[in-house]
Amino acid sequence: MHPVMPLSTRALRCGLTVVAVAMLNSCAGPAPPPLRLHADLKQLMASVVDPAADVVWESVGTIYTADGTEEIRPRTDEEWARVSQAAWVLTESANSLMIGNRPKDTGDWMRFAQEFSDISLKAARAAEARDAETLFTAGSDVYLACTACHNQYNVDLTTPTTP
């Protein structure tokens, strides 16, 4: 036999439940973070994404000349650090493509941005491991990730947009 709960306790519990439900309804989830989203997509691309991608792409490759081939590789600690910094910028810039009014939709856009992040992470890890071959492959995959999104949203990079 359960003891009968005194009326006052029952009322108190009910009251608390009502308050809790009211709170859930009024503020479903935590308050949004106080972000400062100053750059528009174009500025983000031109000032954050593109320069970082250039560092990654220019870090590895092979130059063929009449005299033979020249292997481009990061060689010093500073050179490797610069590439991994740039790859981390790419990895994290993908998140800033997914917040505020930047996403163009909540489906494909988010998928492209996530792939962009995951692939950039591979470049960052390869740079940290000083693995030039993997870095090269990751760099080409990053390029494909940029192009996939640009194609989907009809971004034409062949015509210069800056005055």
Contacts of 134 (CB under 8 A, 6+ apart): 122, 125, 126
Residues 104-143 that bind ligand HEC (CB under 6 A): 109, 112-113, 116, 142
Shortest Cβ 42–ligand HEC spacing (Å): 4
The phi, psi pair for 137, rounded to 5°, reads -60, -45
Contacts of 39 (CB under 8 A, 6+ apart): 47, 48
Residues 76-105 that bind ligand HEC (CB under 6 A): 90, 97
Number of residues that bind ligand HEC (CB under 6 A): 23
Torsion angle of C-alpha atoms 126, 94, 40, 162, degrees rounded to 10: 40
60 and 139 Cβ atoms separated by less than 8 Å: yes
Shortest Cβ 86–ligand HEC spacing (Å): 10
Which of 39, 48, 121, 155 is in the footprint of ligand HEC by CB under 6 A?
A: 155
Q: Which tokens go with 64?
A: 């063929």
Q: Which is nearer to ligand HEC, 41 or 121 (CB)?
A: 41
Shortest Cβ 158–ligand HEC spacing (Å): 11
The phi, psi pair for 143, rounded to 5°, reads -60, -45
Shortest Cβ 115–ligand HEC spacing (Å): 8
Residues making contact with ligand HEC (CB under 6 A) = 41-42, 45-46, 49-50, 53, 90, 97, 109, 112-113, 116, 142, 145-146, 149-150, 153, 155, 157, 161-162
